[in-house]
Amino acid sequence: MDRDYCTMDDFDLDGKTVILRAEFNSPIGPDGKILDDKRIRESVPTIKGLEGSKVVLIAHQSRPGKKDFTTMEQHAKRLQRYVKQSVHYVDDIFGSHARAAIVEAEPGDIVMLENVRFYSEEVLELKPEAAAKTVMVKKLAPLAQVFLNDAFGASHRSQDSLVGFTPILPSGSGKLMQKEIDSLTEALRGGGEVVYVLGGAKVDDSISVTKNVLEKGIASRVLVTGVVANVFLAASGMNIGNPNYEFLEKNELTGEIPNAKEVLQKFDGKILMPSDVAINKDGKRVEINVRQLPADYPIMDIGHETIANFSDIIRHSDKVILNGPAGVFENPEFGTGTRDILMAATKAKFSVVGGGHSSAAVEEMGIEDKITHVSTGGGAAIDFLSGKPMPAIDALKAAKKRMMEHVGAKTH
């Protein structure tokens, strides 16, 4: 495949010092322990591909002010378990302690630097040229020969650890970043019967994706589930009932109803809403046709008629892209829609699943090997599919362009 960014295959990495920006941001429990280390596990192929290099790992965990904002010490221990190599955690980012650890390391060693968001400049959104002038980049870049970005989950950001090394060092993607870009690019390529299934509670994001894929003729149809479906049902003129309006109000989502109405009118017949829903009546699943709305109980899932219809469409599609659960799948009574739709996606020719909840459901069901690609980037995947700028990926593309121009200049 001819890519407009460099990958690991474009460099001779043996014996080199490689700065690797990884995505290790993980859910942390009340006890301060990592609950799910999927993102750490997903980075293993990239790190195993650098066994002949000195690897300097930069990653973040949460952000200042959040309860799960902590050090990278336990992330380093988890990584060590998976790569079966020594991972040297350093509680420093670019100070003399960190730099000494990098200099003293040998090819085959992994140095895990401290949570990069402990550094105040990291939370700023900067252009690559400005990020290249930050203290961290100026201190670390001279110690390395190559920069690799594997942090797809943060690629919609423009922070110095993501874009600052690209104007200075030969730069490319890690294996995970490459897989994410290739799979999501294929999802946006269209061709054949392409179906997007958008659920969960990120309504504004789902509306952005719907607009993008229908305006550009990428998707044949968009199926809506979850809270997204409730907003679209309300936009179509249905009274969804007080408990459901109250939920939208509480989560500041009522403002999305006019936006959904506009999209429904613009793309008439292209957006499919549920024909029946499951409500939570005193802890029990009760299914009703949407014509029976309003309900005095919260809508918690799509109903069996909708599940059958949507599953049939998904199974017979050439490509299916799913983001967000169909209901409150953590509750066994209301997980049917999410599980059945994901099972239907395993029958499609090409399938991508994005969003933390949907990805967790795929893992829980043990069907990862039957889905073409399970994205590690929730917000990043949505922004990519919405056609929004992806600063960290754009920085890699600009780095390849500079490299090609430099090679061209040398040959003339």
Binding residues: 39, 60-63, 117, 157, 330, 355-358
Weakest-pLDDT range from 26-30, 86-90, 91-95: 26-30
Predicted pLDDT of residue 190: 74
**Cβ contacts of residue 244 below 8 Å, gap of 6+?**
230, 295, 298, 299
Residue 1 has pLDDT above 80, yes or no: no
| Structure token digits, residue 21 | 């920006």
Give per-residue pLDDT as tens, 341-365. 999 999 999 999 987 788 889 989 9
Q: What is 8-176+389-411's CATH topology?
A: Rossmann fold (3.40.50)
**CATH top-level class for 183-375?**
alpha beta
Domain ranges of the chain: 8-176+389-411, 183-375
Distance CA 144, CA 137 (A): 11
Give per-residue pLDDT as tens, 258-292. 999 999 999 999 999 999 999 999 999 999 999 99
Predicted pLDDT of residue 357: 82
Average pLDDT over residues 135-162: 97
Binding residues for ATP: 330, 355-358
Give per-residue pLDDT as tens, 183-214. 999 999 878 999 999 999 999 999 999 999 99
**Cβ contacts of residue 148 below 8 Å, gap of 6+?**
8, 18, 19, 20, 21, 46, 50, 171, 172, 173, 174
Count Cβ atoms within 10 A of the Cβ of residue 1 and give its class: 0-12 exposed, 13-18 middle, 19 or more buried. Answer: exposed
> Judging by DSSP bridges, how do beta strands 299-302 and 276-281 pair with one another?
antiparallel
Do residues 112 and 72 touch, judged by C-beta distance below 8 A? yes
Give the chain's mean pLDDT. Answer: 94
Which of these, 155, 193, 66, 108, lies nearest to 385 by C-alpha position?
155
Distance CA 69, CA 77 (A): 17
Predicted pLDDT of residue 412: 45
Binding residues for substrate: 39, 60-63, 117, 157
Average pLDDT over residues 110-127: 95
Give per-residue pLDDT as tens, 10-19. 999 999 999 9
Q: Which amino acid is at 139?
A: K
**pTM, two decimal places:** 0.89
Predicted pLDDT of residue 376: 86
Do the domains spanning 8-176+389-411 and 183-375 agree at the CATH topology level? yes
Distance CA 253, CA 75 (A): 35
Beta bridge partners of 374: 353
